[in-house]
Structure 1
Amino acid sequence: MTENHTTVAAPEETAHLSLELGRLLLMNGSDTARAKEAVERFAHGLGYESHLSITFEALLLTVIAENQFRTKVGSHIPATTVNMTAVESLNRIVDDTASGLLDVVTITSRLTVLEYSKPLYPWWLVAAALGLTGASLSRLFGGDWSVFATVFIASTIGTAVRQRLGRWHVHQLAIPFITALVSGIIGGVGMRLHPSNIPALCLIAPAMLLVPGVPLINGIRDAIDNNMTLSLSRLSFAVLVVVAIALGLFTATVVTGVGIPISGPTPLLPIAEDAAFSALTTIGYVFLFNVTASAAWACIICGVCCHALRTALLHLGLDIISGTVLSSLVAGLLAHIFARRFRTPPTTFAFPGVVALVPGSYAFRAFIGCLQILKAGALASSGLVAETASLILYTILLTSAIAVGLAIALSIPLPAWHRNPNAV
């Protein structure tokens, strides 16, 4: 056992604390590989060898003590968000335990405090910040200032509804459906009162905030690390959430009469304007991910460099798929570097960087196109079928492009001067 401990942990107590640490890391957005490494280093700091297995349903920890094996099962709460402050605090607990500075009583106390700690920012500020993020996304997609104002209101109220539903422990698939429906109705009514150039953006832009970016990115990382079962579980959950969002939007179109067209142009902003609204887009995720003020600038840099770079490449004549791969590569590399610097999950920086690249608009329109084909049956026009098929292909190719760019970036070994010797 570690000699510096004033209280020696029993194997059962070590297993319990290790599983609690792993659960908190995962529910606050840490990826599988980092959580596994942190838990095993934490148990080693208490004097035990351990092996952690992570599935979508549970955590399975084996503690080895004096040639005896003790196995304990812990619950796994799939993460749908990131709490950067909590992950930083958990990493400090791991470091201090590995250095022999903490006893069992202190560890238990610090984990309990983290379990019930409040976010850095009040709910209304998070809602307003995400309202700004949604409004900025609408500008990136070509909306005018009327759309900007309407989306800001719809996104802010939609986020407040989403937070309330989360506190009421509503089903995880019901939350995106209800939120998309509420924000879509508000956006549609706003366009009825003040018509604009692209009314569908008032439904689509708020729904983009509901896209489950953390499960998507962590699912990709699991695939890279050959955790295929967990990867498929996370990616399947993300697909179900997107379907729930699309159903909410479709219901909103029926209620308000503001349709979402299957076809439509993709505008290309001037690079300077694109960079400005890309920066504003990331602000909501700074608050949502509980990012400290000292690290907020890193999220903004990822967002600006990623989307503005793709816009610049498109201005130079590069196709959107190749531009998305290169932009995601840059976002992933920056996120990789910042994650090492701040000792947090790469998703903290990667998702704000690629959020404007996520083809949510294509996916939502493709789903609505499929519904229209089902309704028309054999009378569906060849144009509708072709456009829907095109949207499906674009969704798959753009999502794959983001995945490839991030996968390449996250697999690049960083130089020694980027590494923190205590990083987990």
Structure 2
Amino acid sequence: MRPDTEAAPDDVAAFLARLTGLLLRSSGEGAALIERTVRHTARALGADASVLLVPDGAALTVSTRGDSRTVTLRGFPEVFRLDRVVALKPLVQDVGAGRIGVAEADRRLAAIESSRPPYPWWLKLLGIVLFTLGFAPLMQSTWYEVGATAVLGTVAAAPAVTADRIPRLATVLPLVVSATVSVITVEVFARDASHGGPVLLMLPALFFFVPGDYLSAAAAELAAGYTTTGAIRLVYSAFLLVQLYVGVLLGLFLTGTSTRALFDIAAASDLPRWALFLSWIVFTVGTLLAFAVPFRLLGLLLVLVYLTVAVQSLATKAIGETGGTFAAAAVLAAVTARLTLRPHQPPRLVLLLPGFFTLTVGSLGMRGLTTLAGGYVIEGFRDLLKLVTIVTAIAVGLVFGAALAQPRVTSPSAEGG
């Protein structure tokens, strides 16, 4: 008999509760894998487990040798410490394979939870700036956009890093950042209409705070039948978007600028093709630093980013933007699902996230809301309708691609959350 099955029920329940909590806190991609991972791990420890999930909480019931207990957990879902997600996968695999007992598993889990971020604060700040710079050419492919984003991205990154040390700031961070970026954009960078609309100038700096991942995770959960988690996550995503939108309007009010200034006109492109190509390298390096992804994964994530961009570009030319987005999401999901099955590859969330960001979902919501506020009703509703269409295309594409690539029997421990 394996030592796991001899563990005390209290120890098994305590370990599974800690595991569920960490999975819940790192469920920015969605909560669909948590229940399967916890149940598989519990069986390896000689127990049965069931999980009732909402996006920020879980009720875990553990049954061991006739003894049953229920634990209620709370955890705010996020994706900012992906190093913990990477470290969790081999732990779950070792437990599932019976290589370690509850005591060792709990020790390793505690070490993961208490581990320091892999990069110091200044590298995270640099990562957020690079993340915004890589995204800038998608808004306007101009050198002016890149220069403005370098300044505005630094302004936005400073409070984001500060919030790691002052957690209460995180609750109003989108509002504070968007208001600050709005004021600086209007007063410094948007004085000449030839440089493009102010929203296009400020959006790259706000992209780190735009809940595109939550929007698509919500749609994917709804598509997969997780109605409660999907609906609640969708409401929370809308709340974050509204915070950013109100912050932009607050910046206009503070500067005495009319909302009619929120026009959505792009400047003439002057970036060479090589700069557009290299921007994805800048973007991916920034993603690693900003989201605490181990740097050894840079090469693999770059391949996935360029694969997603290539599929989206080619498919868009053939079948339109919605079809191209669906195809890119499906290919990305299929490739990452297959890679995740390999024991030494990182979990799906880590592989998926950089490529997913290239699909730029959340910016459409911000553009739609600010365009409406500027009085451009038709254009605003067009952006919001496009948001709904693209979010649905990405969500269905992710579900379709993952289902297509999965073998008939999949071990949840291969995912590791």
What's the TM-score bracket when you normalise by the shorter of the two chains?
A: 0.7 to 0.9
| 2:401 is the alignment partner of 1:397 | no
**Residues 146-165 of structure 1: pairs in structure 2 closer than 5 A:** 146-165=144-163
Cα deviations by residue, 1:61-108 (Å, 9 ceiling, x for unpaired): 22223334x132232313221533312322222222233333343233
Q: Distance in 2 between matches of 1:66 and 1:14?
A: 11
Q: Residue 352 of structure 1: SS of its match in structure 2?
A: helix
Q: 1:147 to 1:274 in 2, by over 3 A?
A: closer
TM-score (norm 2): 0.86
Cα deviations by residue, 1:146-176 (Å, 9 ceiling, x for unpaired): 3212212221231220231243222655121
Residue of structure 2 equivalent to 1:376: none
Q: Residue 412 of structure 1: SS of its match in structure 2?
A: helix
Which one of the candidate residues 102, 106, 110 is aligned to 2:100? 102
Q: 1:308 to 1:278 in 2, by over 3 A?
A: farther
Q: 1:104 to 1:361 in 2, by over 3 A?
A: closer
**Residues 42-81 of structure 1: pairs in structure 2 closer than 5 A:** 42-68=41-67, 70-81=68-79
Query: How large is the RMSD of aligned CA atoms in angstroms?
Result: 3.1
The number of residues matched between the two structures is 409
TM-score (norm 1): 0.85
Structure with bigger RCO (C-alpha 8 Å, 6+ apart)? 2
Moved more, 288-297 or 240-249: 288-297
Residue of structure 1 equivalent to 2:372: 370
Runs of 5+ consecutive residues of structure 1 not aligned to the other structure: 374-383
Which one of the candidate residues 287, 306, 309 is aligned to 1:307? 309
TM-superposed CA distance for 1:24, in Å, is 0.8
Cα deviations by residue, 1:227-270 (Å, 9 ceiling, x for unpaired): 21011111211111111111112222344549753443598988
**Residues 186-335 of structure 1: pairs in structure 2 closer than 5 A:** 186-191=184-189, 197-198=195-196, 200=198, 201-256=200-255, 257=257, 261-264=262-265, 274-314=276-316, 316=317, 318-335=319-336
TM-superposed CA distance for 1:210, in Å, is 0.9
Moved more, 57-66 or 189-198: 189-198
Cα deviations by residue, 1:275-304 (Å, 9 ceiling, x for unpaired): 332332222211223222222222222222
Moved more, 199-208 or 252-261: 252-261
Residue of structure 2 equivalent to 1:128: 126
Moved more, 287-296 or 273-282: 273-282
| 2:337 is the alignment partner of 1:336 | yes
Residue of structure 1 equivalent to 2:179: 181
TM-superposed CA distance for 1:131, in Å, is 0.8
Q: 1:183 to 1:261 in 2, by over 3 A?
A: closer
Whichever residue aligns with residue 364 of structure 2, its letter is Y
Q: Distance in 2 between matches of 1:331 and 1:254?
A: 42
Whichever residue aligns with residue 38 of structure 2, its letter is V
Contact persistence 2:40–2:412 (CA under 8 A): no
Q: 1:202 to 1:290 in 2, by over 3 A?
A: same
Which one of the candidate residues 370, 376, 379 is aligned to 1:387? 379
Runs of 5+ consecutive residues of structure 2 not aligned to the other structure: none
Q: Distance in 1 between matches of 2:192 and 2:372?
A: 29
Q: Distance in 1 between matches of 2:400 and 2:267?
A: 27
Q: Residue 53 of structure 1: SS of its match in structure 2?
A: strand
Q: Which has the higher helix share?
A: 2
Residue of structure 2 equivalent to 1:412: 404
Cα deviations by residue, 1:201-233 (Å, 9 ceiling, x for unpaired): 331111122122443343234224322101111
Contact persistence 1:141–1:267 (CA under 8 A): no
Q: Distance in 2 between matches of 1:59 and 1:343?
A: 28
Q: Distance in 2 between matches of 1:419 and 1:48?
A: 17
Q: Distance in 2 between matches of 1:19 and 1:343?
A: 25
Cα deviations by residue, 1:108-149 (Å, 9 ceiling, x for unpaired): 322222111111111211221221221222222224223212
Q: 1:56 to 1:253 in 2, by over 3 A?
A: same
TM-superposed CA distance for 1:343, in Å, is 4.9
Cα deviations by residue, 1:322-348 (Å, 9 ceiling, x for unpaired): 222222222222332343345544332
Q: Residue 244 of structure 1: SS of its match in structure 2?
A: helix
Q: 1:282 to 1:38 in 2, by over 3 A?
A: same
Contact persistence 1:124–1:160 (CA under 8 A): no
Q: Distance in 1 between matches of 2:152 and 2:38?
A: 41
Q: 1:281 to 1:197 in 2, by over 3 A?
A: same
TM-superposed CA distance for 1:191, in Å, is 0.9
Q: Residue 70 of structure 2: SS of its match in structure 1?
A: strand
Q: Residue 119 of structure 2: SS of its match in structure 1?
A: coil
Q: 1:329 to 1:116 in 2, by over 3 A?
A: same
Q: Distance in 2 between matches of 1:308 and 1:98?
A: 37
Q: Distance in 2 between matches of 1:254 and 1:358?
A: 28
Q: 1:103 to 1:83 in 2, by over 3 A?
A: same
Contact persistence 1:8–1:103 (CA under 8 A): no
Q: 1:100 to 1:330 in 2, by over 3 A?
A: closer
Whichever residue aligns with residue 324 of structure 2, its letter is G
Contact persistence 1:15–1:63 (CA under 8 A): yes
TM-superposed CA distance for 1:367, in Å, is 1.2
Q: Distance in 2 between matches of 1:35 and 1:153?
A: 39
